[in-house]
């Protein structure tokens, strides 16, 4: 999500090219309906509530508008190959049946935009035919109407608000077969329940920050052992490893303490790194006094407790001076 945000905001401000030409049948307004990055697919309204539009004008000119920030583009079509040039580079994709799918400047961020005149013939063919006009309509008494109660419940949208928000804890790596260190880091996470019922998690540790996470994972919500349900991964990444369907399953019932979630998994990538890892997180503001001291995050007492006692929100990262002071004291002992 952070990658999508960075690329699109940059695009909205830097376009400054122009061209001229004749009337083009592909000219018109295209509205972004979907964004994809790092294997995750997101509804555009979850990332940009005010929306994204691309207006293609005849002569190869156009305007991209990202939440009110507009800039010009130069575009061309070779068959169904769509090319969009900007001051910063070239984006390529396809324009077919009134739908543009384009990767933004080789960033891996893919944007889907649907035009005003997108072809919908395949959808129209699936609609039921209207009854012949000469046949008398049946009375309501003879044809009972369907009631909402007969429709299946969409449980995926009933994600408990308990999951939403900022989380703090630690993650550890062990049994390393490569160069990755076996160690322990304070960890943070932002969990966001989307409007379509999917769930997004960004995870980072003391060496990173909120806008530069070590993991971004999309989940679906399922019923679990408790009313809180569980999260099952659908796509994402952790460092250099892809996270796929069911690779991470997070069930609060797997943790013996309340208000906590656990990720217990294995890491491997094509560089030869191979290790087991675990992540333990609790909602920001939780008192960890129900756990042994050896199971507390490293910065729990000297940094976390003073913040939550003051009612402070979770920062984007641990300040460098706090880290240097803590590890400096540790090294001198």
Q: What is the pLDDT of residue 57?
A: 86
Residue-wise pLDDT tens digits, 287-299: 999 999 999 999 9
Does 148 reside within a domain? Answer: no
More confident position, 137 or 171: 171
In terms of domains, do 300 and 193 share one?
yes
Most confident of 80-89, 123-132, 146-155: 80-89
- Picking from 118, 145, 175, the residue at the C-terminal end of a domain is 118
Query: Which secondary-structure segment (H or E) carries 47?
Result: helix 44-47
- Please enumerate in sequence order all residues whose Cβ is within 8 A of that of 100, keeping only pairs 6 or more positions apart, or say none: 30, 54, 82, 93, 94, 111, 112, 113, 114, 115
More confident position, 85 or 19: 85
Residue 134 has pLDDT above 70, yes or no: no
In terms of domains, do 165 and 229 share one?
yes
The C-alpha atoms of residue 200 and residue 218 are separated, in whole angstroms, by 5
Does 129 reside within a domain? Answer: no
The 3-state DSSP class for residue 7 equals: helix
Average pLDDT of the residues in 241-254: 94
Domain hosting 236: range is 157-332
Which of the four pLDDT bands, split at 50, 70 and 90, describes residue 4?
A: low
Does 136 reside within a domain? Answer: no
User: DSSP letters of 141-185?
Assistant: TTSPPP-GGGSPP-GGG---GGG-EEEEEEEEEES-SSSS---EE
The 3-state DSSP class for residue 309 equals: helix
Q: Which of 208, 269, 207, 260 is nearest to 237 (CA)?
A: 269
Q: What is the pLDDT of residue 6?
A: 52
The 3-state DSSP class for residue 44 equals: helix
Does 192 reside within a domain? Answer: yes
In terms of domains, do 105 and 173 share one?
no
Most confident of 1-15, 75-89, 171-185: 171-185
Count the domains in the chain. Answer: 2
Does 327 reside within a domain? Answer: yes
In terms of domains, do 94 and 24 share one?
yes
Least confident range from 29-33, 59-63, 168-172, 274-278: namely 59-63
Which of the four pLDDT bands, split at 50, 70 and 90, describes residue 3?
A: low
pTM of the model: 0.56
Does 139 reside within a domain? Answer: no
Residue 13 has pLDDT above 60, yes or no: no
In terms of domains, do 163 and 110 share one?
no
């Amino acid at each position: 999500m952070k990658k999508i945000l960075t690329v699109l905001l940059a695009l909205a401000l830097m376009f400054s090219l122009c061209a001229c030409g004749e009337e083009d049948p592909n000219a018109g307004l295209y509205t972004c309906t979907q964004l994809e990055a790092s294997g995750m697919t997101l509804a555009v309204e979850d990332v940009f509530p005010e929306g994204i539009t691309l207006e293609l004008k005849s002569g190869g000119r156009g305007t991209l508008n990202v939440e009110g920030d507009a800039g010009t583009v130069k575009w061309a079509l070779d068959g169904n190959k769509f090319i969009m040039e900007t001051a910063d580079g070239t984006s390529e994709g396809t324009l077919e049946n009134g739908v543009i799918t384009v990767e933004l400047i080789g960033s891996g961020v893919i944007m889907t935009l649907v035009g005003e005149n997108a072809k919908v013939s395949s959808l129209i063919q699936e609609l039921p035919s209207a009854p012949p006009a000469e046949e008398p309509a049946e009375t309501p008494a003879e044809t009972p109407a369907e009631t909402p109660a007969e429709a299946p419940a969409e449980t995926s949208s009933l994600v408990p608000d308990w999951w939403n928000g900022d989380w703090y804890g630690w993650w550890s790596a062990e049994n390393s077969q490569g160069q990755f260190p076996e160690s322990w880091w304070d960890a943070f996470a932002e969990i966001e329940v989307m409007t379509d019922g999917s769930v997004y998690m960004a995870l980072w540790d003391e060496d990173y920050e909120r806008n530069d996470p070590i993991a971004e994972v999309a989940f679906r919500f399922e019923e679990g052992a408790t009313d809180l349900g569980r999260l099952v991964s659908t796509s994402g990444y952790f460092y250099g490893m892809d996270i796929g369907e069911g690779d991470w399953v997070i069930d609060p019932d797997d943790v013996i303490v309340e208000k906590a979630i656990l990720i217990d998994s294995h890491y491997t990538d094509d560089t030869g790194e191979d290790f087991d890892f675990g992540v333990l997180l609790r909602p920001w503001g939780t008192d960890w006094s129900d756990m042994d001291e050896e199971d507390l995050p490293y910065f729990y007492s000297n940094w976390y407790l003073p913040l939550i006692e003051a009612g402070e929100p979770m920062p984007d990262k641990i300040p460098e001076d706090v880290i240097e002071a803590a590890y400096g004291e540790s090294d001198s002992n």
